[in-house]
Structure 1
Amino acid sequence: MRTLLLSAGLAALTAAASPALAQTAGRQEATRLPPVSVLATRTETRPDEAPATVSVITDRQIEAELVTDIKDLVRFEPGVSVVSQPQRFGAALGTTGRGGNEGFTIRGMGGDRVLMVIDGVRVPDGFTFGAQSVGRGGYADLDLMKSVEILRGPASALYGSDGVAGAVAFTTRDPSDLLRDGESFGARARVGYSSADEGLTASGMMAGRSGAVSGLLAWTRRDASETETAGTVGGTGAARTEANPMDLTSDALLAKAVWDFAPGQSLRLTYDYFDSEMTADVLSGRSATVTRLLADDTTTREGWSLGWRGEDGPGFDSGGLTVYGQTAETRQYTFEGRTPAVDRTRDNTFDNEVFGVSADATRTLGVHRLTVGGDWSRTTQQGVRSGTVPPAGETFPTSAFPKTDFTLAGVFVQDEISLLGGDLRIIPALRWDRYELETADDPLYPGPRADQSDDHISPKLGVVWWTGDHLGLFGSWGEGFKAPTPSQVNNYFGNLAYGYTSAPNPDLKPETSQSVELGVRLRDLTLFGAEVSGQAVVFRSDYQDFISQQVVSGSFTPTDPAVYQWINFTDVEIQGFEARANAWWDNGVSARFAFAWAEGETTSAGVTTRLPTIDPIKVVLGLGYDEPAGRFGGQLITTWSQAKDAADTDGLGCYAAGCATGDDFALVDLTAYWNITDQVTARAGVLNLLDETYSWWSDVRGVAASSAVLDAYTQPGRNFGLSLALRY
């Protein structure tokens, strides 16, 4: 059915476009205009002018590399990864793979320690309790994005809580992205296919302009099955290494209206909606006593915003004000058929509703460019566990933490000081934040509860110095912080019959970080007949007061139960080196290079061990060609990953069996495009061309080296992707 739909879509697009549209004449597919980052300084800045390491992945790059999700998005980004394990979870125990794409890990730190925003609005927290695991990477569709920015290092001086290790900003498309100058209507349609999961994508968007008003309407639909592995063991039971059968669907909708009511002044109304559903038959979870294990998970996010943006106003060069709201709901339902025990179900939800406002303004005063701003948001967060046949001593429905109002507020100031004719820029920033967790009587929460509030000051200093036209130096120092979540401050679960319980901690402190990086940059340098740009950077980060759930008292007996509590438990040190370079020749040939290495240690109660969340060395080498007239082109990219050193796997809990460290591996990906006309582009790619058997460390860490199901954690073998896009 998917193949039939894909073929019909391709045929329809080709038939509609081919006879009526002129052949392209001189359109260049790969434009080398430098991208622009807003994430790094809150003002439009070229990445090579930013006082930090930031990557900007554009919509063109997303389409060229046949990206379908955030794991694909960072496959050529050393130092950045996404945890996404195979779905091998249980009904009441085990969460492996339940969270999907769990979120970004930047320089060894991930989870809620990386700030994620969609058009400036925070993505909800991740949440794990019992067999429930809610990731953060499934709330948006990349086909609706204009760009994705990835900032390495603390972001709290400009964005507040959560920016301890870095930040990722998703920016959706605008009407102007589809409308050419002088035109009042534009449209785009695309179909795509991926053999790795039999995924079919269909999207369409259109934009129009009438006078001072413009609008955009966009929609994307995805249908897919389970992502294949290199496993060869089928059947049922824990020995299965083939992927469990799954069906995944998602719909994403984006609507925007823009009113340019005066020169340099605009109002923007945005509505976006995303929902996804995953159904799975977890064959690996069957056993002599479990006859069936079925899952049905849904995720929904709905957001709106109303914003004003202005330029050249009284007292400011540019400024903006945005009011927004967002509702995100997840549900994870599991049915477990048991014998001789009674069948049971688990129905777990995790919901977030947020309302907020943000504002900023920029003013140039001589050599100073001042940016000031602030934001306020209130999130109502609740998690409910329900189902049938609850654990002994527990009744359903229940909550692990009380329904909580979580308020974040902050103000910041940044000064970009330009000296030496603009070649030297010194950029200090300072932000004050306050957070409050307010609980109320919640009949579903059986434990004690406590409110909490605190504030924090986050400074940052950056320097960028271009010593000439081609050589630049940069450095930054900054602090980050992350406020405790409602489920960490208040967390209760009691099972006295088995000798354990958990308790709230109203004295829980924020996690904090200090990071420094120093680097050198090249741009527009002619070398071996090519135009070369790149950078190399060294960095060190120190993290304090990591929040971790630990046993704080008790001996695991009914009379002296063990007490679990979220406490500030661990300090971490990470250091590393990263480098990247790009080269372009006039004949259309291009090359790319990227490298990342890091190591880290974690110290708890005076004991120091290696930090296992850091990815091993990764190197990316690419060679591309774009025909000078822009009619066709492609790229060949090789990715090499070093095996994880066994000495770097301390603390994973693999015991004497050791931890799976994998092997060195090299992947070869080949992609190509053909501009059939100026309006129609076909793309194709063969990924993992050499059919390598491999696993990403981020997915396999924690699995014992002696495990008989290591192949279940492998990535797809040789697979291909296709897409056809029509623009009007």
Structure 2
Amino acid sequence: MRTSSAVLSLAVVATLLSAQPIHAAEADIQSRQLKKIQVTAEEEGRSIVGNRTVVGVTELEEEQAQNFEDAIRYIPGVSIVDLGRFGDNGFNIRGLEGDRVALTVDGLAFAETVETTPAYEFFRAGRGSVDIDSVKSIEVVKGADSIVAGSGALGGAVMLVTKDAYDYLDATGNDTYFRIKSGYTSSSDELMTTATFANRTGPVEALALYTRRRGHETESWFDSSPIPTGSGRRSPDPMDRESDEVLAKLDFLIGDSQRFGLIGEYSRATNEIDNLSRVGGLGYLTRRADDDSDRDRFGLRYSWDDAGTIFDTLDWTADRVETKSRALTTILAGSGCAQNITPCVRSEDRATEQVLDRMALDFTKAWRGEGVSHALIYGLAWQQREVDFWAVDTRYIGTTDATSSVTIDPDQIPKTDVTTYSVYLRDSLYLLDDRLTLHAGIRYDRTEYSPELDAQFVDETGSVRDVEFSAPTWQTGVDFKLTSEHSVWAQVGRGFRAPTVRELYAPTSTSTATEVATGNEVTVWDSAANPNLKAEKSLNTELGYRWQTDRHLLGVSVYRDKYTDFVETVARIQNPDTQYQTCIGTDCTVSNGVRYLTPANVGDVVVKGVEVEGRWLINRQWSARLAWAYSEGEKQNGDPLPSILPATGVVGLRYDSPTQRWSLTGNVSHAEAKKMKDAALTQTPPDDFFTSLVPDYLSDAYTVLDLFGELHLTEDLRLNAGVYNVFDEKYYLWPRVRFVNEGTTTLYGYVTGDGIGRYSEPGRNFRVSLSWQF
């Protein structure tokens, strides 16, 4: 399959290279085309940190990004956290990942991470998602910026902005726009179609966008596996994937300066997985996963420009987002069956639901005094998140529909309301004829947790209770132009992250033990909540130099980020001055105190590194780019931070035809190998099923070439195509193999023999899309 894909891919690229202009006189075609697809993304972004990247819709279209992993492919030091059946679980920026990187869309935070029995992978829900074709810009912030991103922006933030009707319409007057795009991705055999409709009639603007995707598992480098089932399978498990997303917006224009709008999003995604790599022995004769991930959003928005003396713009938003994830695992077992009828069917049904309500009011104000200009933003917000979880285990009699037992498991977390109040202010001052820029901002957040104890979550430890966190954060920076082309900048910022519901409350449990001195049987803790947790904090310091002309850009920065009060699960001793006897069957032991697990703030982590960015406009046809990032991290006990990415870099060269009819881009991505000294630990959290002290697999260095381009067939018809991993390099990504362990058990990530192959990246593959607009 890969050979035929390569031939077709190279043929497409050859077509792009040899294509001649259809009508040379129409040299302005691309500018008009871009007007219709390069939606007016907020290219400047909201953050003012010195190290950030805004990926606009033009880049997403040209690079044919089908998901967020594709979108950040060429941003060194940033990766996707890929865990579990629902795919990605957020972003990794400078070694911090998951809930420690803020992830928002239109200012709305994505769902919290909820994990239960992760080692057996019956359920591991991601944080939800939005289809990338609904997004017009992705702002990737490296380093803390809690001023605009709020809780979670420790290592950075990823802020998405969805498309609007006015992105596609003329500035004034009635107008209508329609576009349809269809594409194919060979690595996952995915077919996609996106239809976009925008209209302005009088004072009403409307947008309707629908994206449909149908595909399969993303292939590894290997075409097949000599071992079809079990941990030695080197090909990914077969999967059928489907997703549908609708984005709808309706705006009412009120005069020249006000608008009132309605927003709706509907997202449905399903995965059907045949877990062939998990089949083995009598325990799992077959194993199947059926997963659903839903996300719905309903919102109101109001904006007012040039409204008065205390603000220039006012934006009010009110939204509700409902995120639901369900995982149904069905197993055909050859042992442990009711009534000794084998084989038998059993199922594990897990689900989580999170509902987010949010209201926000944001202002901007700019003015100029004598010798100084100000650009002020300020605002306040209220949000409430409801987090819930449930699980049902069903055992069947043989392979019939008759059940032998239906067990509603105790909830892993209590149903909890999380309420947050926020207020922020940031001012940018421009002095010395704009040669000197000063930034200063402050934010205050207060978060309250209200867990609900009921029959499904019984806390016998008595450790679960209402808790609250409050945290001021700040940021300051300076940018000074030494000359018209050379400048230096520095920034210092404080970030924070309040614990998630899972970290606070999941789970609590007790058992019985015998006091040696009295012989009394008492209840002792196995795991307990910790209401005295502190919010995690970061102090991010960065220095940079920038050389920028009309044709050149070179930026170098060095940074040091210190993170304090990290939350991890630790083992502690209850009543250490009392001797207890505990028994498992007939095996009894005596100890001083009883060991239990609880979340706690542990030590500090320091991450430091260097990043380089460069661009060169060689002439009207040729341009080049480069980017490189290196980080290293260390825990307080001297252990490395394993989640740090190896040093990565990208070098790109682009050619635009003189008539702007076609273009071709080549990007070379390189990553260094992950070394054992940067991954091996001396101690690991007691309940961390994923991280072993010494990893069984490390990623080697690799270099990959991607070629992609576009061809304007007519004024309104455009072809995009590309070949990725042109030289068919076999390679592995560190974020994907760092949790993989060698062994024969059925736990998550265990492989034997050539089984590591199923975690490899795709070999040579291609993508092609065709879009038509009018």
Task: State the TM-score, normalized to the length of structure 1.
Answer: 0.89
CA separation in 2, counterparts of 1:303 and 1:410? 21
Select 2:69's aligned residue among 68, 71, 75. 71
Instruction: Report what 1:275 is aligned to.
Output: 268
Secondary structure at 1:77's aligned position in 2?
coil
Instruction: Report what 2:612 is aligned to.
Output: 579
Q: Does residue 515 of structure 1 match 2:540?
A: yes
**C-alpha deviation, 1:466, in angstroms:** 2.5
Secondary structure at 2:285's aligned position in 1?
strand
Instruction: Report what 1:60 is aligned to.
Output: 58
Secondary structure at 1:28's aligned position in 2?
helix
Select 2:432's aligned residue among 420, 424, 447. 420
CA contact 2:656–2:664 (8 Å) conserved in 1: yes
Secondary structure at 2:387's aligned position in 1?
strand
Instruction: Report what 1:324 is aligned to.
Output: 319
Alignment of 1:243-642 (within 5 A): 243-289=236-282, 290-315=284-309, 316-342=311-337, 343-365=345-367, 366=369, 367-389=373-395, 395-447=407-459, 448=462, 449-494=464-509, 496=511, 501-525=526-550, 531-553=551-573, 562-603=595-636, 607-642=637-672
| Cα separation, partners in 2 of 1:662 and 1:356, compared to 1, 3 Å | closer
Question: Deviations 1:362-420 (Å, cap 9, x if unpaired)?
Answer: 22342333222111100111111222259xx9952421111000011111111111101
Q: Does residue 119 of structure 1 match 2:106?
A: yes
Question: Which runs of no fewer than 5 residues in structure 2 stay unpaired?
Answer: 13-21, 338-344, 397-404, 514-523, 575-579, 685-689, 744-751
CA contact 2:174–2:201 (8 Å) conserved in 1: no
Instruction: Report what 1:16 is aligned to.
Output: none
Instruction: Report what 1:685 is aligned to.
Output: 722
CA separation in 2, counterparts of 1:437 and 1:394? 32
Instruction: Report what 2:19 is aligned to.
Output: none
**C-alpha deviation, 1:562, in angstroms:** 3.4
Instruction: Report what 1:14 is aligned to.
Output: none
**Matched residue type, 1:351:** E
CA contact 1:52–1:153 (8 Å) conserved in 2: no
Alignment of 1:8-87 (within 5 A): 24-28=26-30, 36-37=42-43, 39-41=45-47, 50-84=48-82
CA contact 1:23–1:678 (8 Å) conserved in 2: no
Question: Deviations 1:143-180 (Å, cap 9, x if unpaired)?
Answer: 11111111111121333211111111111111112213
CA contact 1:21–1:679 (8 Å) conserved in 2: no
CA separation in 2, counterparts of 1:332 and 1:672? 39
* RMSD of Structure 2 on Structure 1 (CA): 2.8
| Cα separation, partners in 2 of 1:522 and 1:260, compared to 1, 3 Å | farther
**Matched residue type, 2:497:** K
**C-alpha deviation, 1:440, in angstroms:** 2.3
Select 1:105's aligned residue among 77, 87, 92. 92
CA separation in 2, counterparts of 1:705 and 1:520? 45
CA separation in 2, counterparts of 1:350 and 1:123? 14
CA separation in 2, counterparts of 1:609 and 1:441? 39
| Cα separation, partners in 2 of 1:657 and 1:211, compared to 1, 3 Å | closer
| Cα separation, partners in 2 of 1:332 and 1:511, compared to 1, 3 Å | same
| Cα separation, partners in 2 of 1:318 and 1:227, compared to 1, 3 Å | same
Question: Deviations 1:293-339 (Å, cap 9, x if unpaired)?
Answer: 00001111101221111221112111211111111100011011111
**C-alpha deviation, 1:626, in angstroms:** 1.0
**Matched residue type, 2:674:** K
CA separation in 2, counterparts of 1:418 and 1:442? 57
**Matched residue type, 1:304:** F
Instruction: Report what 1:46 is aligned to.
Output: none
Question: Deviations 1:616-653 (Å, cap 9, x if unpaired)?
Answer: 01110111111132101110111111101111012278
Secondary structure at 2:565's aligned position in 1?
strand
| Cα separation, partners in 2 of 1:351 and 1:235, compared to 1, 3 Å | same
| Cα separation, partners in 2 of 1:40 and 1:134, compared to 1, 3 Å | farther
Question: Deviations 1:577-621 (Å, cap 9, x if unpaired)?
Answer: 001111123331111101000001012xxx220111011011101
**Matched residue type, 1:478:** G
**Matched residue type, 1:508:** L
CA separation in 2, counterparts of 1:627 and 1:495? 71
CA separation in 2, counterparts of 1:384 and 1:111? 22
CA separation in 2, counterparts of 1:666 and 1:492? 44
Instruction: Report what 2:762 is aligned to.
Output: 716
| Cα separation, partners in 2 of 1:23 and 1:226, compared to 1, 3 Å | farther
Instruction: Report what 2:215 is aligned to.
Output: 224
**Matched residue type, 2:415:** K
Instruction: Report what 1:198 is aligned to.
Output: 189
Secondary structure at 2:696's aligned position in 1?
coil
**C-alpha deviation, 1:675, in angstroms:** 0.3
CA separation in 2, counterparts of 1:406 and 1:710? 40
Instruction: Report what 2:135 is aligned to.
Output: 145
Secondary structure at 2:99's aligned position in 1?
helix
CA separation in 1, counterparts of 2:269 and 2:771? 24
**C-alpha deviation, 1:21, in angstroms:** 12
**Matched residue type, 1:715:** E
CA contact 1:370–1:415 (8 Å) conserved in 2: yes
CA contact 2:125–2:325 (8 Å) conserved in 1: no
CA separation in 2, counterparts of 1:129 and 1:655? 19
CA separation in 2, counterparts of 1:672 and 1:271? 34
Instruction: Report what 1:666 is aligned to.
Output: 703
CA separation in 1, counterparts of 2:147 and 2:209? 34
Question: Which runs of no fewer than 5 residues in structure 1 stay unpaired?
Answer: 11-19, 42-49, 86-96, 526-530
| Cα separation, partners in 2 of 1:659 and 1:466, compared to 1, 3 Å | farther
| Cα separation, partners in 2 of 1:249 and 1:23, compared to 1, 3 Å | farther
Instruction: Report what 2:679 is aligned to.
Output: 649
Instruction: Report what 2:734 is aligned to.
Output: 697
Q: Does residue 165 of structure 1 match 2:190?
A: no
**Matched residue type, 2:286:** R
**Matched residue type, 1:282:** N
**Matched residue type, 2:468:** S
| Cα separation, partners in 2 of 1:538 and 1:570, compared to 1, 3 Å | same
**C-alpha deviation, 1:184, in angstroms:** 0.8
**C-alpha deviation, 1:548, in angstroms:** 0.9
Question: Deviations 1:261-284 (Å, cap 9, x if unpaired)?
Answer: 022221121111111000100001
CA separation in 2, counterparts of 1:295 and 1:319? 47
CA separation in 1, counterparts of 2:556 and 2:410? 51
Instruction: Report what 1:92 is aligned to.
Output: none
Secondary structure at 1:610's aligned position in 2?
coil
Question: Size of the alignment, in residue pairs?
Answer: 683
CA separation in 2, counterparts of 1:579 and 1:704? 34
**C-alpha deviation, 1:693, in angstroms:** 0.4
CA separation in 1, counterparts of 2:767 and 2:149? 37
CA separation in 1, counterparts of 2:544 and 2:125? 33
